[in-house]
Amino acid sequence: MKTILRNAFAITLITTIWTSTTFANDVLAGQDKSAECAVCHGDNGNSSNPEIPILAGQNIEYIVNQLIAFKSGDRQNDIMRGMATNLTQSDMANLAAYYANQTPKINTANKTLAIKGKTQYTICWGCHGMNGEGYDGYPRLAGQHSTYLINQLNNFRNRTRFNPAMSSVVGDLTDEDIEALSAYLGSINTNLIAATVSKVP
């Protein structure tokens, strides 16, 4: 377990160092480029499709790292690989800067499940923050679509999406645990968290 977490930390550290040295942080250029993304991810990154992630307010490092993974094929998604294939490093940094500076809309979730899921979230604090705000290379989860989170947690659990730390953490969660945890994360008021997200100066 220690070896897995140590390797995961090393990978995160390497990608964070890489991205921090290449950000162009051109929000306007990112806004122009985002027109291609809006079809699925919605205006300003506020997806209306519960199976497609909200990008508004997401941290820069995480967005860039995921685009790199889609482009290389390390993260499998045919649509996203096609979208990322022709993106340059500057394109990725600009898109990430644009989305990080958008305000996520308040999401709704099943309140009964959310209450149950709050206790499950203690296993996530160390990487995703006390309020699911995310930081550095770890994604913001607060206010994300519950359906999207359920799908991704299931993917980590069955290792169709593999991350050593995540697959280990969610490995023992039941379907009910995952549903409740996702409802809790989706219920967090993203507008209260938005101020803590790293913005471009």
Confidence tier at 146 by pLDDT (50, 70, 90)? very high
Give Dmax (Cα) for the chain.
44
Confidence tier at 34 by pLDDT (50, 70, 90)? very high
Domains, the chain:
2-100 (1.10.760.10), 111-196 (1.10.760.10)
Distances (CA, A) of 67 to 93, 155, 191: 10, 18, 25
pLDDT at 24 over 80: no
For 196, other C-beta atoms within 10 Å of its C-beta total 16
**Backbone φ, ψ for residue 199 (5° rounding):** -110, 160
Give me the mean pLDDT over the 10-34 stretch: 62
Look-up of token digits 């390497």:
14
Q: How far apart are CA 56 and CA 49, in angstroms?
A: 14
pLDDT at 84 over 90: yes
pLDDT at 190: 56
Amino acid at 83: M
Confidence tier at 2 by pLDDT (50, 70, 90)? very low
For 36-96, the DSSP string reads GTHHHH-GGG---STTS---TT--HHHHHHHHHHHHHTSS--HHHHHHHTT--HHHHHHHH
pLDDT in tens, 158-190: 999 988 999 999 999 999 999 999 999 999 875
Query: If you compute the radius of gyration of the chain from its CA atoms, what whole number of angstroms results?
Result: 16
Contact 193, 142 (CB under 8 A): yes
Helix, strand or coil for residue 7? Answer: helix
